[in-house]
Amino acid sequence: MAVVGDGAVGLMGVLAAREMGAERIIAMSRHKSRQDLAREFGATDIVVERGAEGIARVSELTRGVGADSVLECVGTQEAMSQALECARPGGSIGYVGVPHGVTFEGQALFFGQRRMLGGPAPVRRFLPDLMDRVLNGRIQPGKVFDLTLPLDRVAEGYKAMDQRRAIKTLLTV
């Protein structure tokens, strides 16, 4: 499994992959604090490279095959291209990053023999089980909240996330 993106969505993807039983989880991340949390959540490998170098590194880690599953958690063209190229033939790409300005060649997907599925999560379906896991201490997804600010400083929270000084901001009243 490879996860493209190290924000809150990508880190939750790492956690979900571990919970689903993935034996190897490759997190693509350039930020030390996010890499540390990815490892805590279950990442077995970290790839800091992007573009052709990142694709080559994932290929190397998977003995030239590519990842069975790739989770695209950013929503940009670069991240989608990375995800498509990191998946093995016959592999699956899940995109949960809200796409903005993303296009791809249907023939590349077709001849690459890769599957894609994406969209908003059916939260109500999974919420009871997830709440049990949180309340029983099995998972601690709240660790992505690494900055706490009062509600009247919401703009500062968004700026910190945009500048990668925070993964996710928790606002208090």
Predicted confidence (pLDDT) per residue in 56-113, tens digit:
999 999 999 999 999 999 999 999 999 999 999 999 999 998 899 998 888 888 898 9
CA separation, residue 95 to residues 36, 74, 100, 105, 158 (Å): 23, 8, 12, 16, 23
pLDDT for res 34: 96
Kindly list the distances between the CA atom of residue 151 and the CA atoms of 144, 170, 171, in Å, as whole numbers in the listed order.
18, 9, 5
| pLDDT at res. 48 | 97
> What was the pLDDT predicted at 120?
87
| pTM reported for the whole predicted model | 0.93
Q: pLDDT tens, 42-57?
A: 999 999 999 999 999 9
Phi and psi angles of residue 115, each rounded to the nearest 5 degrees, phi first: -105, 150
Match 């660790």 to its residue by tokens: 143
In the chain the domains, ranked by start, together with CATH numbers, are 2-124 (3.40.50.720), 141-173 (no CATH)
Tell me: the pLDDT tens digits for 127-171?
Answer: 999 999 999 999 999 999 999 999 999 999 999 999 999 999 999
CB-based burial of residue 51 (10 Å sphere; 0-12 exposed, 13-18 middle, 19+ buried)? exposed
